[in-house]
Each structure stands twice: as C-alpha cells, then as structure tokens.
Amino acid sequence: MDERPFESMNMIPFIDIMLVLLTIVLTTSSFIASGRIPVNLPQAAASEPAPKAPEQTITLDAKGIIYYQDEAVDAEQLKTRLAPLERETAFTLRADRAVELQHFIGVADVLKQLGFTRVALQTSGER
C-alpha cells in the first residue's frame, strides 16, 4: 500500500463554518443593541434615519424618568454630568409618546442652557 504522510489540511470548510457563525453573531447582536429601555417612540411622517453612532443618548420613559446613557438620573444630575462635555457633543433624545411635554422641555432646556446644539430627536417612521 502506498501511504503518504499527512502533508496539508483543507481549511476551506473551517473558514465557511466560521463565516456562518460570524454572520449569526452579528445578526443577533444588532437586535440586542437596539435599546434596553422600553420607549414607545412618537411617529413622524418625514422621519430621517438616525445619525451614525451618536455619542450620547438621553431617554425619557412614559413615567417621565430621565435616563442618561441607560442610567436613571434627575434633571440636576443630568446637568452635572453634561457640564464637562464638549459643546460639539452629539445627543440623541428619545422620548416616549406618552411623556408629559414639560418633562421633555425640561431636558431640552438643560441641553440649551449648557450650549449643546447637536441634538437629534429619535422617532418611529412606522404608521
């Protein structure tokens, strides 16, 4: 019998399996990272796509609780945390459609008092 030593291994099947696993991980991670705080966003007929990778996120839930970077804070704590940031910092403001307008205005007022101008409002484009 002519037995030759094992000289090489075909790596293509292993690469195929790794690419499938990578695709599965990336697909499921996009669903998980869509937001941890449940907010029923208001609808807008002319909504634009969200800006790429906003640096900071402020969320108002239906009860009027303010979340800065997914951590509950009050208006004074929010002001204290935002004060040292650069004024060119981009913010995404997410507010539940059931939140009282005064809570929303309070957060917008804090941003305006501190001089932040790059603020985007996240809405739902679905009707």
* 8 within domain boundaries: no
Separation of alpha carbons 111 and 96, rounded Å: 18
The pLDDT score that the predictor gives to residue 82 is 92
Residues of the chain with pLDDT under 50: 53-54
* Other C-beta atoms lying within 10 Å of the C-beta of residue 111: 20
102 part of a folded domain: yes
Instruction: Specify the pTM.
Output: 0.58
- Give the phi and the psi of residue 123 in degrees, each rounded to 5: -130, 170
Residue 127 lies in a domain: no
Residue whose entry in the numeric block shows the structure tokens 């449940």? 38
* CATH number of 112's domain: 3.30.420.270
CA distance linking residue 72 with residue 77, whole number of Å: 9
> 94: domain range?
56-122
Report how many domains make up the chain. 1
pLDDT for res 3: 76
pLDDT at position 53 = 45
Task: Let me know if residue 84 belongs to a domain.
Answer: yes
